[in-house]
Structures are given as C-alpha cells and as structure tokens.
A and B are shown apart, each in its own frame.
Chain A
Amino acid sequence: MAKATFVVPELTQYTEVPAVTSGAMAHSLPFVAKPEFQDALGFPGELVDDWQAKAIDKMGDLLGKYRSLRVYMDSCVKCGACTDKCHYFLGTSDPKNMPVGRQDLMRKVYRRYFTLAGRFFPKLVGAEDFTKEVLDDWYSYFHQCSQCRRCSVFCPYGIDTAEISMAAREIMDSIGVGQKYCNEIIAKVYKIGNNLGLPGPALADTLEGLEEDVFDDTGVKVRFPIDQEGAEILLVTPSADFFAEPHVDGLIGYGKVFHEAGISWTLSSHASEAANFGMFIGSYENMRRVSQRIREAAIKLKVKRIIFGECGHAWRVAYSFLNTLAGPWDFLDPRYPVPQHICEFTHDLIQRGKLTFDKSENDDKVLTYHDSCNVARASRMGDVPGGQFDIPRDIIRAVCNHFYDMDEDTIRDRTFCCGGGGGLLTDDLMELRVKGAKPRLDALNNVIQEKGVTHMAAICAICKTQFSKVLPYYGMEMDQIISLHQLVGDAIVLTPGPDDDAEDDDLDDEDDLNDADPNEE
C-alpha cells in the first residue's frame, strides 16, 4: 500500500456526524483534461474567453431541457435532512460536502441569473455572480460528489444532487474545463473500444489465457469467446473484468454460468466496455455515442440477447436509458428483457434448478454484500420491486453457507457509496476516496468484528477497485473485496463437455499455470 499523505480516519462503531470544518477539502481537485481529450468529446480544449456568458447560457439550456434541474434548484427548503447523509461529508467534515452545501454552489448562480429576486436583490436571496472563484469551487466540490444519490433518498422533496453535479460538470465541460480521468477515458472508448484501451488482440490473448486457467483448474473446457457472429448472447462487461483483480474472477464466473446454461455467448471487441462515463460528466451526447457501440456490435454479431456484466453505473445506463440512447431493439428476441443483468440470468437458472453448486467450496469465507449505489438507487432487477437487492443476495445464499448483511441503515437503498464512484476513481483524489469510504467501512468492520465476516462481495467494477485500494488504509486486506460471480464460479459444479479430453491447439496443457487465488487466506 502507498503511504498516506493525510490523516486516515479511525473506524468507529457508529459513523458519527462530525463537527463542520469549513474548507477542509478545498484543496481537493482532480487533474484537468488536456485539450486533445476535450476535443475528442466535442468540448473546447481550454477555458474559453467569454466563459461566464457561455456557462450561464449552458445552464439556461439545461434548465430548459431538464425540468427536474429547475425543480431541484427551486424546491430546497433547507430542512437539513440531507446534511449528515453524504459519505464525503461524514468522512471529511467539509460543509460544502453536505448535499445542500453542494447544491447551493449551483443554486446561488441559478438564483442570480434565472430568478427575478436574484436579478434585483441578489444579497437578499443568497444569489451570487458566477465568478472565477465560484467556478473553482465548482471544479473542486462537484468532483467530490460520487453521484450516489443517497441524499436524495432522505430529501423530502427528492432533490437529486447527482443530477445537479452532472449538470455542473456538463456546464464546465462546455466552457473547456474538463476532468482528466473521465474525459481521457471516454476518448479512449471512441478510439479503442474500452476504458482501458485494450485492443482486440490483447483481449483475445487475455481470454485465451482464461480458458487455459479454467481448464487447468477444473478439467472442463469453458469458452470465453470474442467477436463470435451468430452467438445467442452478447455480454457487455466493464473492461476491468479483463484486466484487474478481483474483477477477472467474476468474468470467469460468468463464463462458467454460460457454460452450464448451454447457451452460446460472445464478447465484442467493438463494445468491449459496459461502463459509460458519459453519464458521470452529464453529457447526453457522449453517453449516446458510447451506447451506440453496443447497438453496432449487437447488429454485427447478430445476437438475440444482450447481458450486462457486473458494473454499477453501466446497469443504470442500460436499465434506465438504453432504449432511448441506442434503441429500438426490435431485432432482439422479444421474450427476454433488453438488456438483462448477469445476476438476473444466473438467478433465473438457479430458480429453475439448472445449476448445481457445491457450497462448501466457499466455506473458507464468511460473506457480506455491498449494494452498489447505481444498482441500488437507480435501477431494478427482475420483475418485483427490490429485485436489485434480493437477487444478488439470493445468489450469494445459493452458493455460500455463511452470509450476513451489514447494518440495515447502510444497505439496500440506504447503502453507502464505496467512495470512488461517479468518475472519482483516480489517484489524484485518493484522500477523498479514503475518507469517503469510512461510513461503508465502519459498517463492514462491525460485521467483521461481530459476525466474523471475511469477505465483501460486490457487483460493480468501481466498487471492487476502490475497496481493493482503500481497505489497506484501514488495516484490512485488499483481497477482502470480491466479485459476486467469483463466488458463483467457485461453487458451480461444471458438466464436462465431449471434447474435454481431446487434444486442442488452443489449450497448451503443458503450461505450468498460475492458479493461485488472490482471495485465499
């Protein structure tokens, strides 16, 4: 683990509401995007000359387009219900990280230019000019919101700070002030097809390696096909699933489930990314461009169904917006939802008794489950309310003997963000990420102490990476976070195929392969 250059908070049994410290995180700001990445997304390369007028125009444009934004600007009554709900406030004590404090950064500008009272008596209504200082504050604090929407659950008016922070980022991008992490990544999707910049041949090589690994582990040939025309299912999954740990163990789990389902499937090198950072920067146009790749791949590969892998915000985009962004999907099999979540797919097979598990394979672990914000608060799974909470838990219970939930105030729709969502999963925001993880880790620590929990499962690539990075700051192990489908993959009893004993050029059986599991104690 890297050494911290800031004070890591102490975990506490209850997450206490801190006394406010003004400006505690005023120094936190992410690197600014270079002109080349701004260009690729259709934004000015750097701060434009008449930025103030342009920004106000853009705000007017968004207020017209999204009535919700105007309602959020107008309806806050300063009741205070949100003030202690944000993990970043709880972890940093900076009052501008109170949801209302963050909203007010935009609200004061809105009032100045878009309300009668603010135009004539700005001081009386807390209206302020959009100055460079205000813009700098925006850049800092709208990049201290992970758009997790926990505050909106507690707001009596349902004000969604995530939407406000998306709008703020869109306004900043439109005047040439973009964030490096998000915008460089989106540009990479346009150029190569995924956030990581994994070209087709690297993907194919990685997948071939996985086939070898699974065969060596199990003696069963489980395929990880890519660009296979005519497959039944297109799997769209975050590129971290190919690249990182513990993500890749989830991908192996999906492959085993498809193998047992006996359904042909394929990945796509063109749509080799489920993530859609266009949402984080509030850019409908970029969100649409990223989504279109999925449509193009589905048509080219002539698939009948689309399934999304474990990625939180991707599932929000897919579940809530995919039809308007990239539909109509009339060429897909109408008997299945478009799209489906891998958890829905696995859960359905379990319900129908199509999968056999040896739960004792997971007996070395005591599990808890982290609800990822975008799945929990911005989507659903299955056909009953709350499916997004129950389906993943049902799967865990079907494959593990030992499972305990964390405190009920910190799970399901009240779940705490991992601290790295919404485009903040970057090293230049490490202090924010570590401090913002505290409320979640307080709850995790409690079940570790009280129930002997050893591992936490999640279904979001960002959550997995964030936890593997921040757990060590709190004295926990980086491999205590795992993919839900790793649990499935480890417990599933594979049916041998007809060609498992045959010689196969694809599989180099002599390789002394690594099968060390990073999560083994």
Chain B
Amino acid sequence: MSDTIEVDGKQYAVDEEGYLANLNEWVEGIAGVMAKQDNLELTEEHWDIIRFLREYYEEYQIAPAVRVLTKAVGKKLGKEKGNSKYLYSLFPYGPAKQACRFAGLPKPTGCV
C-alpha cells in the first residue's frame, strides 16, 4: 500500500493500512478510489452506510457499534437489511473496518 492515494489529481496521505491520515481532508472521491483498491464498485447502498458513519462520527468521534449501525440501517432500509450479513455483503472486509476506511474514519482498534 503506497503512502498516498491520488484522487482527482490531488494526493492524500494514508497510513500503512490504507486509512486516511488526516481525517478532515476527506472528500467523496476518496471513497471511490479506496473501493477500487479493494475491487469494489460503490453503489447507493454503500453510500447510505458511508454517510451514516460520517454523521455518527461527527457526533461521537468514534465509529458506531455494529449494533447501532445495523439498527440504523434496519430503520432506514427495512428490517431484513438491519443485520451484519447485509453489511458484510456490501463490505466484505467488514463494515467496521472497510466502510470506516472508505468514509475517512480511523480504524477501530482493540479486540474487534
């Protein structure tokens, strides 16, 4: 993983795990470029999650707990989507880690 990624002609620093180094530099294009690194094409379903992560982070300075996220998704998109299976179908590396990276959030650390 290189130490910067290029988005719309601009270089952004990332850490050794590919997370954005300066969180306030995030622009939407970053998510798309990071998704491409992971061979994913972002759809509106992905963006629903990414936007929720960013809103939650704005308020609490941490990514939402998985249950908080699944509940919010269930409320918005219907109960059948309010579970981890759905989130993993969108983000195969895991919603907490992969979706956070696309959303420009720090990587959740600890026993998770």
Which residues of chain B in 67-101 are interfacial with respect to chain A, using CB atoms and an 8 Å cutoff? 67-68, 70-71, 73-75, 79-80, 82-85, 88, 92-93, 96-97
User: Taking A31-B17, A198-B62 as contacts, is the C-beta distance between A513 and B110 under 8 angstroms?
Assistant: no
User: Is B109's CB under 8 angstroms from A275's CB?
Assistant: no
User: Is A514's CB under 8 angstroms from B60's CB?
Assistant: no
Determine how close the nearest CB of chain A comes to the CB of B111; give it in whole angstroms.
Answer: 4
User: Is B110's CB under 8 angstroms from A240's CB?
Assistant: yes
Q: A1–B85 Cα gap in the complex (Å)?
A: 11
Contact with B along A244-259 (1 / 0, CB 8 A): 1101100000000000
Contact with B along A234-277 (1 / 0, CB 8 A): 00001110111101100000000000000000000000000100
User: Is A245's CB under 8 angstroms from B111's CB?
Assistant: no
Chain B residues within 8 Å of A184, by CB: 109
User: Is A194's CB under 8 angstroms from B83's CB?
Assistant: no
User: Taking A201-B60, A205-B60, A244-B96 as contacts, is the C-beta distance between A194 and B71 under 8 angstroms?
Assistant: no
Binds B, one of A82-90, A206-214, A403-411, A440-448: A206-214
User: Is A513's CB under 8 angstroms from B71's CB?
Assistant: yes
Q: A185–B108 Cα gap in the complex (Å)?
A: 10
Q: A248–B106 Cα gap in the complex (Å)?
A: 21
Chain B residues within 8 Å of A213, by CB: 67, 71
User: Taking A205-B68, A248-B67, A518-B84 as contacts, is the C-beta distance between A513 and B111 under 8 angstroms?
Assistant: no
User: Is B110's CB under 8 angstroms from A514's CB?
Assistant: no
User: Is B61's CB under 8 angstroms from A243's CB?
Assistant: no
Determine how close the nearest CB of chain B comes to the CB of A55; give it in whole angstroms.
Answer: 25
Q: A512–B80 Cα gap in the complex (Å)?
A: 12
Chain B residues within 8 Å of A201, by CB: 60
User: Is B67's CB under 8 angstroms from A245's CB?
Assistant: yes
Q: A245–B93 Cα gap in the complex (Å)?
A: 14
User: Is B84's CB under 8 angstroms from A245's CB?
Assistant: yes
A425 at the B interface (CB under 8 A): yes
Q: Which residue of A lies closest to B67 (CB)?
A: A248
Contact with A along B10-43 (1 / 0, CB 8 A): 0000001100000000000000000000000000
Q: Which residue of B lies closest to A212 (CB)?
A: B71
A511 at the B interface (CB under 8 A): yes
Q: Which residue of B lies closest to A34 (CB)?
A: B15
Q: Choose among A196, A199, A478, A512 the residue that contacts B112 (Cβ–Cβ < 8 A).
A: A196
Q: A209–B71 Cα gap in the complex (Å)?
A: 9
Q: Which residue of B lies closest to A520 (CB)?
A: B83
User: Is A209's CB under 8 angstroms from B75's CB?
Assistant: no
A77 at the B interface (CB under 8 A): no
User: Is B66's CB under 8 angstroms from A244's CB?
Assistant: yes
User: Is B65's CB under 8 angstroms from A206's CB?
Assistant: yes
Q: Choose among A199, A206, A240 the residue that contacts B111 (Cβ–Cβ < 8 A).
A: A240
Q: A461–B109 Cα gap in the complex (Å)?
A: 13
Q: Choose among A196, A428, A511, A516 the residue that contacts B109 (Cβ–Cβ < 8 A).
A: A196
Chain A residues within 8 Å of B85, by CB: 518
A179 at the B interface (CB under 8 A): no
Q: A464–B74 Cα gap in the complex (Å)?
A: 24
Q: A201–B61 Cα gap in the complex (Å)?
A: 10
User: Is A2's CB under 8 angstroms from B93's CB?
Assistant: yes
Q: Which residue of B lies closest to A274 (CB)?
A: B111
A432 at the B interface (CB under 8 A): no
A26 at the B interface (CB under 8 A): no
A202 at the B interface (CB under 8 A): yes
User: Is B112's CB under 8 angstroms from A185's CB?
Assistant: no
User: Is B66's CB under 8 angstroms from A185's CB?
Assistant: no
Determine how close the nearest CB of chain A comes to the CB of B32; give it in whole angstroms.
Answer: 20
User: Is A242's CB under 8 angstroms from B109's CB?
Assistant: no
Determine how close the nearest CB of chain B comes to the CB of A241; give it in whole angstroms.
Answer: 9
Chain A residues within 8 Å of B109, by CB: 181, 184-185, 188, 195-197
Best-buried of B85, B88, B112 by chain A (most CB within 10 Å): B112
User: Is A513's CB under 8 angstroms from B66's CB?
Assistant: no
Chain A residues within 8 Å of B61, by CB: 197, 199, 202
User: Is B79's CB under 8 angstroms from A512's CB?
Assistant: yes
A427 at the B interface (CB under 8 A): yes
Chain B residues within 8 Å of A428, by CB: 16-17
Chain B residues within 8 Å of A275, by CB: 110-111
User: Is B75's CB under 8 angstroms from A511's CB?
Assistant: yes
Determine how close the nearest CB of chain B comes to the CB of A84; give it in whole angstroms.
Answer: 29
Q: Which residue of A lies closest to B71 (CB)?
A: A514
Chain A residues within 8 Å of B16, by CB: 31, 428
Given contacts A185-B109, A188-B110, 10 further A-B contacts (CB under 8 A): A196-B110, A202-B64, A210-B67, A239-B111, A243-B110, A243-B112, A275-B111, A428-B17, A464-B111, A518-B83
Chain A to chain B: the 4 pairs with minimum beta-carbon distance, closest first: A195-B110, A514-B82, A514-B74, A461-B111
9 A–B contacts from the bound complex (CB under 8 Å): A199-B60, A202-B65, A240-B111, A243-B66, A245-B66, A275-B111, A516-B70, A516-B80, A518-B83
Residues of A that sit less than 8 Å from B by CB: 1-2, 31, 181, 184-185, 188, 194-199, 201-202, 205-206, 209-210, 213, 238-240, 242-245, 247-248, 275, 311, 425, 427-428, 461-462, 464-465, 478-479, 511-514, 516, 518
Residues of B that sit less than 8 Å from A by CB: 16-17, 60-62, 64-68, 70-71, 73-75, 79-80, 82-85, 88, 92-93, 96-97, 106, 108-112
